[in-house]
């Protein structure tokens, strides 16, 4: 019988850090690649990183001052779309974890402590940190930097790696606590209203009716 430790292995911090580092380096050569499979932990984590990677570069484009407003508007809409997909991906991971725990017969009582951050949210933050570290390293290697700015990059890299290590430990500890029923897993729904035309007043109050 497969243990919970084995089932959650693809989501261990060691595997995730290696996975996100490899994807980040590869995609800067090939472009971001969406996973074909979004039902496995590997596919779900790649989905989150795909959207974070895309978000990072669309955010860069949205801040350009040498392009027409149409270019900026296009980037802003792409950011909105990727961000929604990213949030959906976080929720999908948490739903998968919830199903695994219930299938394994883990049913905490109402008094079991709930972690303030879900595993999906931590995994998302590790994805973003991998991107921050990659790009900070890239900046630190620029030939046009002053020594002062290079030193600043090195200091920030140290802080980012420390944050990454802290989050990695927190994720592994959370999975251990969930397996040992020291903490209770709960899926928190996003219910983003601004992307749903039924609930965004700026959309439904200004929608042009079809006159034909």
How far CA 92 is from CA of 69, 86, 103, 167, 209, in Å, comes to 35, 10, 16, 20, 35
Q: Identify the residue with better confidence: 67 or 18.
A: 18
pLDDT band at 200 (very low <50, low <70, confident <90, very high): confident
Per-residue pLDDT at 106: 94
Calculate the CA dihedral of residues 183, 98, 17, 191 and round it to 10 degrees. Answer: -100
Encode burial over 111-134: b for 16+ CB neighbours within 10 A, e otherwise.
eeeebeebbbbbbbbbbbbbbbbb
pLDDT computed for residue 109 by the predictor: 93
Q: Count the neighbouring beta carbons within 10 Å of the beta carbon of residue 142.
A: 10
Region 43-57 average pLDDT: 97
Q: What is the DSSP string of 184-196?
A: E--PPP---STT-
For 96, residues 6+ apart whose C-beta sits below 8 A from its C-beta are 41, 44
Q: Hey, what are 139's tokens?
A: 């900046």
Question: 78-106 pLDDT, tens per residue?
Answer: 999 999 999 999 999 999 999 999 999 99
Q: What is the pLDDT of residue 193?
A: 66
pLDDT for position 209: 56
At 212 the pLDDT is 42
Token pair of 156 as six digits = 């920030």
Q: In this structure, are residues 171 and 122 in contact, taking their beta carbons and an 8 Å threshold? A: yes
Q: What is the pLDDT of residue 42?
A: 96
Predicted TM-score (pTM) of this structure? 0.89
pLDDT tens sequence across 201-212 = 767 778 765 444
Residue ranges per structural domain of the chain: 4-196
Tokens 């079991």 belong to: 112
Quick one: what percent of the chain has pLDDT higher than 70?
92
Helix (H, G, I), strand (E, B) or coil at 183: strand
DSSP 3-state of 112: coil
């Amino acid at each position: 019988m497969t243990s919970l430790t084995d089932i959650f292995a693809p989501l261990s911090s060691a595997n995730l850090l290696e996975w996100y580092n490899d994807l980040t380096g590869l995609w800067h050569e090939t472009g971001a690649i969406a996973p074909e499979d979004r039902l496995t932990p590997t596919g779900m984590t790649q989905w989150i990183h795909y959207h974070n990677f895309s978000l990072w570069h669309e955010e860069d484009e949205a801040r350009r001052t040498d392009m027409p407003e149409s270019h900026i508007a296009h980037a802003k809409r792409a950011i909105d779309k990727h961000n929604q997909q990213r949030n959906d991906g976080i929720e999908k991971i948490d739903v998968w974890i919830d199903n695994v725990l219930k299938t394994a017969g883990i049913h905490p009582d109402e008094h079991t402590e709930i972690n303030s951050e879900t595993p999906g949210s931590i995994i998302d933050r590790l994805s973003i940190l991998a991107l921050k570290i990659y790009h900070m390293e890239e900046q630190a290697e620029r030939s046009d930097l002053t020594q002062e700015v290079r030193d600043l990059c090195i200091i920030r890299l140290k802080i980012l790696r420390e944050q990454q290590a802290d989050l990695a430990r927190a994720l592994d500890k959370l999975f251990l606590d969930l397996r040992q029923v020291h903490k209770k897993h709960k899926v928190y729904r996003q219910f983003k209203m601004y992307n749903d035309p039924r609930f965004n007043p700026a959309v439904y109050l200004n929608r042009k009716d079809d006159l034909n």
